[in-house]
Structure 1
Amino acid sequence: MVGRQQDAVDRLVTFLAKRDGIDKLVKTFQYVAKLAHWRLQAVGRSSLADRAKKWEVSCGTSRKAFRTGRFLAGLNALRSPYPNLCLQLLAILSNGGEVVYFFFDHLLWFARIGLLDPHLAPRMSFISAFGEGFGYIFFIIADLIVIRKGLGAEKQLRGELESAIAKEEEGGTDQIKAIMAKIRGIRVQRIMQFMAISANLADLVIALAEVEPNPFFNHAFTLGISGLVSAWAGWYRNWPSST
């Protein structure tokens, strides 16, 4: 069989084969449905608005099922070594919050489908959202620290690159390529961290809407856009490379 280069369909299949991939797709559906429900209600299309609401609720419930056991990833991350005490503490706080988030999200799912007392749902939702928001704050701080270190490393590499270019006639071509590859790697990593920060900020807004309700955070438009920003940042981060 003759091999062929991967195309968009191949990468989509790979993307959807991952739990995070299918979660981001359904999350996109969920928040598109939320925005559709809000808009259809505003124009008086109550029948279509009800359908959009059912789609949104169905997607939200489905995502909870997809995330079964996800809290174990946070527990596992707590066991990982980190380069310094600062990042270690941030990892404990961020992953600890994520463990609380996903564990109580499971209980919320059980309450909503009737496996547990449905009256427990509001309490489980609050605890889950609190853990989520708490964890995201420290994930964001950790990413900002790593970005700052990356900028410092890139600055140093640029200095080395200038020296290597000055010595190019003395056989420094390989060194130049190696330095440029490192710089590209730092830039790619920085983009991924910016995507992570965008997603975490958006999800933090959604969590705050549950923990501290207010007209801005709880508005359907705010929640819908925040959900889509988070979902699309996840698409970018998890989309398979073309190589």
Structure 2
Amino acid sequence: MNDTVDKLVIFLAKRDGIDKLVKTFQYVSKLVHWHVEATHPDAAMRFKQWELASGLSRKAFRTGRFLTGFNALRRGPGATPTLKVLAVLANAGEMVYFFFDHFLWLSRIGTLDAKLARRMSFISAWGESFGYIFFIIADFIIMKEGLETERRLLITSKEDGSEDAKESTRKIGAERVMRLMAVAANVADLIIALADIEPNPFCNHAVTLGISGLVSAWAGWYRNWPS
């Protein structure tokens, strides 16, 4: 059986694993920068640089990530017509997000004109928001279907004591937890994306962004941590 160190090595070997670690760095440093900005400006600047470097690193790690959505659609988007439509819309939005994120990264590091950054950021965030909305809807539909199946299985297990029904119920419960983590991450990332699309005092506040980023990162840790 793998111990914690083994699991950490496996986790960090994944692209999603290292992304969640660096995302944690990014948003912890954002919160620390906000907290010490007035009292320790030198330290605040160091944390700001850490935040910016982490953000750029994550964009580099996401190179080619838009192909994930394409492959998901190619391999089979959903079990029902409704879920198929939602999967197409969600993955299309995510593909736009990751594709234009390449150009945002290149403009931020100076390879492309820095003036492109704002436009690329808007397009990328718009695609991200669009996709997350449909991912969230799909997850709620699947969780609702899971609850209905779980109720039927509970009745079956009470009537005949079926071990298969109990095992299926356990699996449905575990899947529901994973989907709740996905919803939490998507809602948090949606808030961050809205800060780019339509800046406002709530979404753009450092605490809102910091907490949202950490919720997303830690939900990702949970979902990607080896069992």
Question: Same fold judged by TM-score > 0.5?
Answer: yes
1:77 corresponding residue in structure 2: 72
Cα distance in structure 1, aligned partners of 2:204 and 2:224:
28
1:34 aligns with 2:30: yes
Once residues 72 and 111 of structure 2 are traced to their aligned partners in structure 1, the CA distance between those partners, rounded to angstroms, is 29
Match of 2:193 in 1: 207
- State the secondary structure of the residue aligned to 1:117: coil
Which aligned segments of 4 or more residues in structure 1 are displaced greater than 4 angstroms? none
Counterpart check, 1:221 vs 2:207: yes
- Quote how far apart the aligned CAs of 1:68 are: 0.4
Identity of matched residues, %: 62
AA in 1 matched with 2:34: W
Displacement after TM superposition at 1:163 (Å): 1.3
How high is the TM-score relative to the length of structure 2? 0.98
Give the corresponding residue for 2:54.
Answer: 59
Distance in 2, matches of 1:10 and 1:30, equals: 25
Per-residue CA shift, 1:146-184, capped at 9, x if unaligned?
A: 00000000001011111113xxxxxxxxxx221111000
Question: What residue identity is the alignment partner of 2:12?
Answer: L
Q: Quote how far apart the aligned CAs of 1:79 are.
A: 1.6
Equivalent in 147, 152, 174 of residue 151 of structure 1: 147
Match of 1:10 in 2: 6
Instruction: Give the secondary-structure state (helix, strand or coil) at the position aligned to 1:114.
Output: coil
1:78: how far off? 1.7
User: Within 1, Cα distance between the matches of 2:140 and 2:206?
Assistant: 29
2:171 match: 185
Question: Which residue is equivalent to 1:111?
Answer: 107
Match of 2:18 in 1: 22
Deviations 1:94-140 (A, max 9, x none): 00000000000011001111111111000000000000011000000
Match of 2:137 among 124, 135, 141: 141
Q: For 1:79, what is the secondary structure of its paired residue?
A: helix
Provide the aligned length of Structure 1 versus Structure 2.
226
Measured after TM superposition, the shift of residue 53 of structure 1 is: 0.1
What letter corresponds to residue 75 of structure 2 in structure 1?
A: S
Question: Unmatched 5+ residue regions in structure 1?
Answer: 166-175
| Equivalent residue, structure 1, for 2:84 | 88
Letter aligned with residue 111 of structure 1: S
How big is the shift at 1:80? 2.9
Q: Match of 2:68, as an amino acid?
A: A
TM-score of the pair, normalised by structure 1: 0.92
Q: Partners in 2 of 1:163 and 1:38 — Cα distance?
A: 58
Matches of 1:234 and 1:222 in 2, distance apart? Answer: 18
- In structure 2, what is the equivalent of residue 170 of structure 1? none
